[in-house]
Amino acid sequence: MAWTETADATDEHFHPRNDDPWWNESSFITFRIPDRKLMGLIYYYFRPNQNTATAGPMIWDPTGETFYTMAHNGFTQHMPIPPDADMSDFKLDNGFTVEMLEPQQRYRFTYDSPGCTYDLIFTSSYAPHYMRFDKKKGEVDAGMFDFVKDVPGDITTGHYEHYGRMNGTLELNGEHIEVRDAVVFRDRTWGPRKIMQNMDRPRGGYSLGMGSDDNAFTTFAISDLHWQNDPVEGTRDPITSGFYVKNGVGATIVSGSRQRLCGPTGRPVGEIIDATDDMGRTLHAEGEIVTALEWPNLYNDCATYWCYEQWTFDGHTAAPGELQDWMMTRHHRKWMQERSG
């Protein structure tokens, strides 16, 4: 079966798997609170063949944008997977819990740790968009080559993404914060995913903008240049996948480009996206970064910025969204050295 052509409620549970030690079952959920310029990331990542879980929230705003200065860092690695855990129903030792209320529609997230507690419910605004195996090329999407693999046997691998709203309460460093209709991006991935520092990764960007429940987009752009020949600035990176929802009608993005707007330290300050979907509709979107968390990613050698971004597209202004922007640290170091002469 390999890479799935469809996904349904069964994909909200742990999947039948092979014995690959890098088998991954993962999901992330992001939300943002515009009047505070605050962004939250809820991330959970299981390697069931290693019996390890990496999970927890990260919350930041412009007052702290590093792994060490963010408002709260609850991201914990190498926890044991509880015997009764399922992908969407579990509680981990660091106080992080997930409860599925309705498959692919509603989920409850709770957390209790010094400095941060929350009780949040995500509700989907639109059906999940499934990234599909490219039969013509015989491979998964260029941006997902290390996320999932095509594997033999009667098992599936796959990836989908969608968007929605978050509601609930957040207690952060002694302050009570109401979370009301916060814009959310959620993904789900399963299959072998080998993560090693010595892997070569092209530079890329994963973007989302949401003007309303019926107007949104996401794009996955990957540089087509080898990192040693990639100047970072002044390039138009090919968009390899994504979706575009306009006035409630969704379609798959089939082509386009992304221009990364770069600050003096290598941090992105914005981006420009032009794309076309399989209905022939065109999208032009311009984003501006509000706040950006610097973190080393799961690879520990990626110069990654997880950004709260505001978008202008299709008549929407200051539309909440995000950018996940990355390049290998050796690529970033090369770029900085070249700029310094």
Is residue 35 domain-shared with residue 62, that is, in the same domain?
yes
Is residue 167 domain-shared with residue 32, that is, in the same domain?
yes
Per residue in 298-317, pLDDT (tens digit) is 767 888 999 999 999 999 99
* pLDDT given for residue 7 in this prediction: 76
Is residue 146 domain-shared with residue 245, that is, in the same domain?
no
Nearest to 123 by CA among 178, 186, 171, 177: 186
Can you give the residue range of the structural domain that contains 212? Answer: 200-341
CA-CA distance, 255 to 274, in Å (whole number)? 9
* pLDDT given for residue 149 in this prediction: 64
Which band of pLDDT confidence, cut at 50, 70 and 90, is reported for residue 134? low
Per residue in 140-151, pLDDT (tens digit) is 565 555 556 667
Here the tokens at position 320 are 């909440």
83 Rama sector, left if φ>0, alpha if ψ -120 to 50, beta otherwise: alpha
Residue after which a domain boundary falls, among 177, 195, 213: 195
pTM for the full predicted model: 0.93
Residue after which a domain boundary falls, among 178, 195, 212: 195
Is residue 190 domain-shared with residue 264, that is, in the same domain?
no
CA-CA distance, 278 to 33, in Å (whole number)? 33
Q: 179 or 157: which carries more pLDDT confidence?
A: 179
CB burial of residue 53 (10 Å; 0-12, 13-18, 19+): buried
The verdict on residue 3 lying in a domain is no
Mean pLDDT of 250-272: 93
Supply the DSSP string of 175-197, one letter for each residue: EEEEEEEEEEEEEEEEEE----T
Nearest to 209 by CA among 289, 262, 285: 285
Is residue 212 domain-shared with residue 285, that is, in the same domain?
yes
The verdict on residue 190 lying in a domain is yes
Residue after which a domain boundary falls, among 127, 162, 195: 195
Nearest to 171 by CA among 107, 105, 115, 103: 115
| Domain CATH number, residue 68 | 2.40.370.10
Mean pLDDT of 39-62: 97
Is residue 31 domain-shared with residue 115, that is, in the same domain?
yes
Per residue in 167-200, pLDDT (tens digit) is 999 999 999 999 999 999 999 999 888 777 777 7
